[in-house]
Structure 1
Amino acid sequence: MQTLLDSTALARGWQLGDGHFTTMHARRGRVRLWPLHQARLMAACRRLHMAEPDWAAIDAELTALPDEGDRVVRLTLLRGPGGRGYGIAGCGATQVALNVSPFPAHYFTWRERGIDLGVCEGRLGSSPLLAGLKTVNRLEQVLLKAELERRELAEGVVLNEAGRVMEAVTANLFWRKGDAVFTPELANGGVHGTLRAWVMGELGERVQVVSAPLEALQDADEIWLTNALMGLVPVCSLAGRSLGGDYSITRALQQRYEQID
């Protein structure tokens, strides 16, 4: 599916970042965790005062995906044409683009072997109006990814301007200390990932949502990353400190995740 977009809707997208998206893993023609992706898109539409798209048409396109192994599916929603400047009054129906691309095969290796995690020098700014949303403006992530490339890091922990742990550059973050499991509180920034939501649903009240300094992460017994494409990835070391190879929760969650679409 490559829906034709009105040029004025495109203008709002690239001039104002007026839209949001989700990136999904299609396996054998089926989008994994589609209900969680749809729920996040619906919530974003409400928060951005954007009309919801034709979900039946989107469902039809997703159902028609070819059975071709693993693919990346990106669904982008842009505010419809109309309005002037920042104004949204009179904007038309939300515009939809669905793009399919090859799957990054190295994620399978990451899941099996784990990765070494650095700590980014760049910080995420506070943005409570957009906290949790995956808007089309990803410039902070572009700059953070440039830092990873410059430092030759696979991934990195990102702190906010107050020095609290937020997420990784392209993933959400969990850690375990003893029997307790933690994930960062995202009221002022970050992205509420769909796999983050799935993990929190699986672990229930065991997960504590916290505002934590980097020292809490450095003291962890186990750390793992999540996003819809990489799945669940164990962390072998943080900033050069080995975590000892105890991936017990990560491996258990990986097994559960492989059993679902």
Structure 2
Amino acid sequence: MQTLIINHPMSDTPLSDADGVMALGRAWQLGDAHFSTLHASDGQLHHWHYHQARLMEACSRLQMPMPDWQAVHEAALAAMEQAGDQVLRITLVRGTGGRGYSMTGCGATTVVINCAPFPGHYYQWRQQGIALGVCEGRLGQSSLLAGLKTVNRLEQVLLKAELDAHGWPEALVLDSNDQVIEAVTANLFWREGERIYTPDLSLAGVSGTLRAWCQDYLGSRLTVSETGLERLLAADEVWLTNALMGIVPVTAIGERRFAADFMITRELQLAYEDTL
């Protein structure tokens, strides 16, 4: 894995190890950072503008200074290999300074770029679909952070442990009010007849970049809605999305099995591939 740490204004030279530890201080002490994970292939970043929009929204909501986005984009392109599939993670950390929780006196935002191998099994998932479990663990509600992808991922760490214990490839996650929110690492959509739905993420969950693309593509065909598990189990079609796994059809949730035509899933897959 390659890691690059750069301060704003952007520089081509990574920080020293000691400076890098200091720059990341608020991330490991307070979780005061957010990130986006991209699929990169053959020297191209997939849907960069959606990732930039997500990072910009998080900076605004967290009152974090914006970096130089053109320089971030150039640094991301420089960090990855020019052939094959890769995973690129861009993390923005509030600058050093301040005292305790206070933002006062914090410097410019630090940008951290990691490049790692791509999980090849996601291509199989897209074609064959996967079966989901249902996690017993519940997401807490937080209107301050809902929708954002901050580095505070301990809920997901515990939920992933539940996945591993059951041997599920993925699983649904509900909130403390028993509303279906998402999967452990992906957003969720479902179809009832001709209507398409995705959960309301105003109090919990992460609003992903591929979810945003689906919202743009589907337009008025899509409704954001609260849903309990029983309603989801009665759906005609269910699928998951995230920037790495892509658009993945769901073949079953527990004992409930779904038809294998994947009608809307296949439409979305074809349309998404055309925009890369």
Pairwise TM-score range, normalised by the shorter structure? over 0.9
SS at match of 2:4: coil
Answering whether residue 164 of structure 2 is matched by residue 149 of structure 1, we say yes
Q: Is the 8 A contact 1:30 1:62 kept in 2?
A: no
Answering whether residue 151 of structure 2 is matched by residue 166 of structure 1, we say no
Aligned to 2:75: 61
**Gapped regions of structure 2 (runs ≥ 5):** 6-14
> What CA distance in whole angstroms lies between the structure 2 residues aligned with 1:216 and 1:67?
45
Deviation at 1:66, TM superposition (A): 3.1
Aligned to 1:29: 43
Deviation at 1:224, TM superposition (A): 0.3
Which amino acid is the alignment partner of residue 253 of structure 2? L
Please identify, of 154-163 and 60-69, the stretch whose mean Cα deviation from structure 2 is larger: 60-69
Deviation at 1:59, TM superposition (A): 1.8
1:10 equivalent among 4, 20, 24 = 24
Which amino acid is the alignment partner of residue 139 of structure 1? L
Answering whether residue 53 of structure 2 is matched by residue 39 of structure 1, we say yes
Answering whether residue 123 of structure 2 is matched by residue 108 of structure 1, we say yes
Question: Normalising by structure 2, what TM-score?
Answer: 0.92
Aligned to 1:73: 88
Deviation at 1:8, TM superposition (A): 3.4
SS at match of 1:53: coil
SS at match of 1:252: helix
**Gapped regions of structure 1 (runs ≥ 5):** none
Q: Is the 8 A contact 1:8 1:82 kept in 2?
A: no
Answering whether residue 125 of structure 2 is matched by residue 123 of structure 1, we say no
Deviation at 1:7, TM superposition (A): 3.2
Runs of 4+ in 1 over 4 A off after TM superposition: none
> What CA distance in whole angstroms lies between the structure 2 residues aligned with 1:246 and 1:222?
9
Deviation at 1:126, TM superposition (A): 0.5
Deviation at 1:6, TM superposition (A): 4.3
> What CA distance in whole angstroms lies between the structure 2 residues aligned with 1:111 and 1:243?
15
> What CA distance in whole angstroms lies between the structure 1 residues aligned with 2:20 and 2:83?
31
Q: How does 1:231-246 map to 2 (within 5 A)?
A: 231-246=246-261
Q: How does 1:76-87 map to 2 (within 5 A)?
A: 76-87=91-102
> What CA distance in whole angstroms lies between the structure 2 residues aligned with 1:213 and 1:56?
42
Aligned residues: 261
> What CA distance in whole angstroms lies between the structure 1 residues aligned with 2:138 and 2:73?
37
- Residues 156-212 of structure 1: CA deviation (Å, up to 9, x unaligned): 000000000100000000000100100000010101100000011110011110111
- Residues 201-251 of structure 1: CA deviation (Å, up to 9, x unaligned): 110011110111111110011000000000000000111211121301000
> What CA distance in whole angstroms lies between the structure 2 residues aligned with 1:56 and 1:235?
37
CA distance change for structure 1 residues 101 and 67 in 2, over 3 Å: closer, same or farther?
Answer: same
Aligned to 2:244: 229
Q: Is the 8 A contact 2:76 2:88 kept in 1?
A: no
> What CA distance in whole angstroms lies between the structure 2 residues aligned with 1:9 and 1:67?
29
